[in-house]
Amino acid sequence: MADIGEVLRDRLAAAFGTVTGSTLDPVLRRSRHADFQADGALGQPGARAVAAAVVEAVDLADLCSDVTVVGPGFINLTLSDAALAEWLAAAAADDRLGVSTVEPETVVVDYSGPNAAKEMHVGHLRSTVIGDAAVRVLEYLGHTVIRQNHLGDWGTNFGMLVEHLADGGELDFATLYTAARRKFEADPAFQERARRRVVLLQTGDPQTIALWRSIVQTSKSYFQGLYDQLGVRLQDGDFAGESGYNDALDGVVDDLLALGLLRESDGALCAFPEGFTTRDGAPLPLIVRKRDGGYGYAATDLAALRYRIDELKATRLLYVVGAPQRQHLEMVFAVARAAGWLAPPVRAEHVAFGSVLGADGKMLRSRTGGAVKLTELLTEAVERAGGATIGIGALKYADLSSDRIKGYTFDYDRMLATNGDTAPYLQYAHVRVASIFRRGGIDGADGEFVIAHPAEHALALELLAFPGAVARAGETLELHRLTAHLHDVAVAFTAFFEQCQVLRAPEPVRAGRLALCRLTARVLATGLDLLGIEAPERM
């Protein structure tokens, strides 16, 4: 099913073409003065006359009750109530509420990516929540989505952690890292043993590997517990840790060397992708192999990128990673492009996000001043909300509804408010609809849509904007635009509900309003589900 806004745009674009002889974007927007406004004529010589000619040429009789030129050349469009009712009926008859499936592709979503033996921080929470919504939206649109949880499970830290276990340290996720770290800092002999352990790990010593594995396994179970609590789709099989690329790293270096893309610098092997410079304008290195012969984060990311393209056959690679890693990822992409590994139609995108701030405007800290543990945030949100559905929903919505790249201030009171741009507000709108059906004892098929009241008209417009909002979310991953749309739906429903009687209205108005209510509930529930948020029947 097409999107009604898109049909309007296409028809206007065609008319603009006839009138001006060139292709012109009508620039259609929602408007306060009408349902939509097109300002494509503005900027054209004789804009008002162009707009008038377009209105003359365009055929919108089946959609609009009013098409008028105003001001210097705006075209105001008002949809007819009959057209709205017809489009609503089509949306309601569709399991997908009018959302079309797209040309499917294989999309890899790299998200969450915590580090073994370490608590997830709020950055990982953001990645997990945003990544999960991206996965849901892309899957809904018909793409094949492969989740890749790039677990940090390799590196020199593990020398210390394994040595601590070998020393009789306890395999407990909560204490392992700090206990090992404390020993490492206090005891030079332990430090030395930890260093030797790194070599044993790299050379595959069986006892060392077994201990390392136990740390990774404990960490995975811990993270999986959080994922389950959060209600995200990540599963055990989605872990694709850094260590999994170890065998591919030599190949990455060999191939880059053969392509002449690596240079030695201070004993390390580095790529100097074009366009990246230090503050003084010198070429910026991406370290692919360290001076000690070890591989780091960049080499692993290069191997992962190749794997995702060559083995997973993905054509779109998404990296849901904090904004501070932008340069790292851009450099990895640039090297992969230079090597010919990343080439159209394949593209890689950094789905970047900003920081979560505390009330003081600084990075969010716990009461004791340390980094906040994710579990504490979850527990407190659920406690304050009096339940997981509302608490977790509020937490996710607060994250998703802020402009992703800007970050946001963490505030329990605001996220849990039942009024405002919050999950509880949307959930409450859903509950209201459910209660109408309960009170009315209604469970039969829906009646016919009848649009007459301005509040019905306004709600209908919002419901019909859902397909476009979902489609755009899949392209831009600007999930805050999808939350804003759902909020508009809830606001329009609230206004409708205040102005229009439903159960006590005479037929056929009653049936028409019940149909509107039903579609509202379906749009809200589907939209919230795309964000990973539950839509309760009661609260």
Question: Cβ closer to ligand ARG: 5 or 131?
Answer: 131
Instruction: Kindly indicate which of the ranges 109-117, 173-181, 215-223, 345-353 contains the residues binding ligand ARG, using the contact rule CB under 6 A.
Output: 109-117
Distance set, CA 515 to CA 35, 254, 307, 463, 519 (Å): 22, 64, 49, 12, 6
Least gap, CB of 111 to ligand ARG (angstroms): 8
Q: Give the one residue of 39, 81, 153, 301 binding ligand ARG; rule: CB under 6 A.
A: 301
Question: Cβ closer to ligand ARG: 113 or 467?
Answer: 113
Binders of ligand ARG: how many residues, by CB under 6 A? Answer: 9
Distance set, CA 138 to CA 147, 237, 476 (Å): 11, 19, 11
Exposed / middle / buried, residue 259 (Cβ in 10 Å: 0-12, 13-18, 19+): middle
Q: Using CA atoms, how far apart are residues 52 and 67, in angstroms rounded to an integer?
A: 10
Question: Cβ closer to ligand ARG: 115 or 520?
Answer: 115
Q: Give the one residue of 154, 212, 223, 319 binding ligand ARG; rule: CB under 6 A.
A: 319
Instruction: Kindly indicate which of the ranges 110-118, 206-214, 221-229, 481-489 contains the residues binding ligand ARG, using the contact rule CB under 6 A.
Output: 110-118
Residue showing the smallest CB distance to ligand ARG in the complex: 113
Least gap, CB of 320 to ligand ARG (angstroms): 8
Q: Which residue has the tokens 């290195």?
A: 285
Question: Cβ closer to ligand ARG: 75 or 336?
Answer: 336
Question: Cβ closer to ligand ARG: 152 or 512?
Answer: 152
Question: Both tokens of residue 510?
Answer: 């009653």
Question: Cβ closer to ligand ARG: 115 or 483?
Answer: 115
Chain centroid offset of residue 112 CA: 12
Least gap, CB of 49 to ligand ARG (angstroms): 55
User: Nearest-CA neighbor of 299 among 325, 335, 264?
Assistant: 335
DSSP 212-246: HHHHHHHHHHHHHHHHHHHT-S--GGGB--GGGGH
Q: Which residues contact 182 (CB under 8 A, 6 or more apart)?
A: none
Least gap, CB of 181 to ligand ARG (angstroms): 17
Question: Cβ closer to ligand ARG: 96 or 233?
Answer: 233
Which positions from 38 through 97 interact with ligand ARG, judged by CB under 6 A?
A: none
Least gap, CB of 249 to ligand ARG (angstroms): 14
Chain centroid offset of residue 267 CA: 40
Question: Cβ closer to ligand ARG: 184 or 319?
Answer: 319
Based on the shown chain and the rule CB under 6 A, indicate whether residue 321 belongs to the binding site for ligand ARG.
yes
Based on the shown chain and the rule CB under 6 A, indicate whether residue 397 belongs to the binding site for ligand ARG.
no
Instruction: Kindly indicate which of the ranges 107-115, 153-161, 186-194, 476-484 contains the residues binding ligand ARG, using the contact rule CB under 6 A.
Output: 107-115
Q: Give the one residue of 3, 39, 110, 456 binding ligand ARG; rule: CB under 6 A.
A: 110
Radius of gyration for the chain, computed over Cα atoms and rounded to the nearest angstrom: 28
Q: Which residues contact 440 (CB under 8 A, 6 or more apart)?
A: 502, 503, 514
Least gap, CB of 314 to ligand ARG (angstroms): 13
Question: Cβ closer to ligand ARG: 153 or 488?
Answer: 153
Residue 185 half-sphere exposure toward CB, CA atoms < 13 A: 5
Least gap, CB of 301 to ligand ARG (angstroms): 5
Asked if residues 289 and 302 have their Cβ atoms less than 8 Å apart, the reply is no
- Residue 225's CB is within 10 A of a number of other CB atoms, namely 12
Q: Which residue has the tokens 């909002």?
A: 469
Question: Cβ closer to ligand ARG: 295 or 466?
Answer: 295
Question: Both tokens of residue 258?
Answer: 């053969």
Distance set, CA 71 to CA 13, 27, 38, 351 (Å): 20, 16, 12, 40
Sign of the alpha-carbon dihedral angle for 242, 400, 144, 352? negative
Q: Which residues contact 98 (CB under 8 A, 6 or more apart)?
A: 1, 3, 87, 90, 91, 464, 466, 467
Which positions from 114 through 173 interact with ligand ARG, judged by CB under 6 A?
A: 115, 150, 152
Least gap, CB of 304 to ligand ARG (angstroms): 6
- Residues 240-279 as x/- pattern, contact with ligand ARG by CB under 6 A: ----------------------------------------
Q: Using CA atoms, how far apart are residues 203 and 295, in angstroms rounded to an integer?
A: 13
Least gap, CB of 387 to ligand ARG (angstroms): 30
Least gap, CB of 56 to ligand ARG (angstroms): 55
Asked if residues 255 and 302 have their Cβ atoms less than 8 Å apart, the reply is no
Least gap, CB of 108 to ligand ARG (angstroms): 10
Least gap, CB of 342 to ligand ARG (angstroms): 14
Question: Cβ closer to ligand ARG: 81 or 110?
Answer: 110
Question: Cβ closer to ligand ARG: 119 or 163?
Answer: 119
Phi first, then psi: give them for residue 408, nearest 5 degrees. -160, 165
Q: What angle do CA 514, 519, 523 make, to 5 degrees?
A: 150
Question: Cβ closer to ligand ARG: 6 or 349?
Answer: 349
Q: Using CA atoms, how far apart are residues 331 and 326, in angstroms rounded to an integer?
A: 8
Instruction: Kindly indicate which of the ranges 26-34, 60-68, 108-116, 168-176 contains the residues binding ligand ARG, using the contact rule CB under 6 A.
Output: 108-116
Based on the shown chain and the rule CB under 6 A, indicate whether residue 113 belongs to the binding site for ligand ARG.
yes
Binding site for ligand ARG (CB under 6 A): 110, 113, 115, 150, 152, 301, 304, 319, 321
